[in-house]
Amino acid sequence: MGYLFSKTNSIWDSTNDAIVQDMEQPLTHYWIASSHNTYLTGNSLTSDSSVEAYTRCLRMGSRCIELDTWDGPDDMPFIYHGHTLTSRIRFIDVIEAIRDHAFATSEYPVILSIEDHCTLPQQRTMARLFQKTFGDMLVTQPVDRNEASMPSPQSLKRKIIIKHKRLPEGQETSELITMTSARDDESLRDTTDISLHKNGVMYLEDTINREWVPYYFVLSATKLCYMNKPEENENTQPDDSEAGSEDGENELKVQPRGSDDLHFSEKWFHGKLINGRQKAIELLEDYSYLGDGTFLVRDSDTFVGDYSLSFLCVLLQAQQ
């Protein structure tokens, strides 16, 4: 992997490293090397999020990188791909890496594209950390108060730009909370709103092996998407800070039933029966000579992970 990203494997002619283009035009006149989901090291459902991914991306020349921010514990936002099994990294670790590597390859400005899912208190935390970490590198004021167009890359050298939606001018926090509460009424919300999505683990029957197989799923108002549930690893194991979370994400962890459980060795346990109830009746009839109270236990056809108890009850008719 290291070789693939090394200069030895690059097709770029290093003699073209020198900038010969006019860099005094407005920033909007240029194509900008950009990165999507910069934090991910693999697929967007189960892979690791990594601070190193930001370092590598910046050193490869990207000038626009993405940060997906979500509320975290202790008033510290996380960065990860929301509503998935991707691992989480701390917001502060990411912006410190950006500060250290932003201009290692190029002095032209770096744009941080913020996909913000944080509440207002944690947005304020982000703002404080941006100012503390980036200091004078952070663009907080117009480069030229009389400017009639966007500043040029030349005038923004070694600067960091935040790309983020601002609150409406003069918008009070209380007004924002009221608007948010109104949007919580599902009748007023767009069906494509990601907050409507549900995710977790569901079981589908393998018709060949007669087993219930776990799948990771995401459910929206119009679609159900699912994939094989990955093996338990660092991506799905919450760290200590998340152990007591109330956001329901720990519900994704489903412990498979082990074959070493004691009831597997008992003669009365029959596991998954084809034709469930009817097969149970036939078995009880075959063993009816054992008498009243003969029973068996099988996997429930209705409730995955539960069991059904079937037993023989002999009704005696009174002699006349």
Catalytic site positions? 36, 81
Structure tokens at 275: 């034709």
Question: Which whole-number Å values give the CA distances from 95 to 33, 127, 162, in the listed order?
Answer: 19, 11, 12
Here the tokens at position 313 are 């009850």
Task: Evaluate whether 252 touches 199 at the Cβ level (below 8 Å).
Answer: yes
| Contact in structure between 118 and 77 (CB atoms under 8 Å) | yes
Which residues of the chain form beta strands (DSSP E)? 64-70, 78-79, 89-90, 110-116, 160-163, 198-206, 211-219, 224-228, 295-299, 307-311
What is the C-alpha to C-alpha distance for residues 58 and 38, in angstroms, rounded to an integer? 10
Return d(Cα 125, Cα 241) in angstroms, integer: 18
Contact 253, 241 (CB under 8 A): no
Nearest to 5 by CA among 87, 61, 46: 61
Q: Can you tell me the distance from the alpha carbon of 144 to that of 245, in angstroms, rounded to the nearest whole number?
A: 47
151, 153, 159, 161 alpha-carbon torsion, rounded to 10°? 60
Angle formed by the axes of helices 120-134 and 91-101, to 10°?
30
Q: Which two tokens stand for residue 51?
A: 């601070």
Residue 270 in tokens: 């029959």
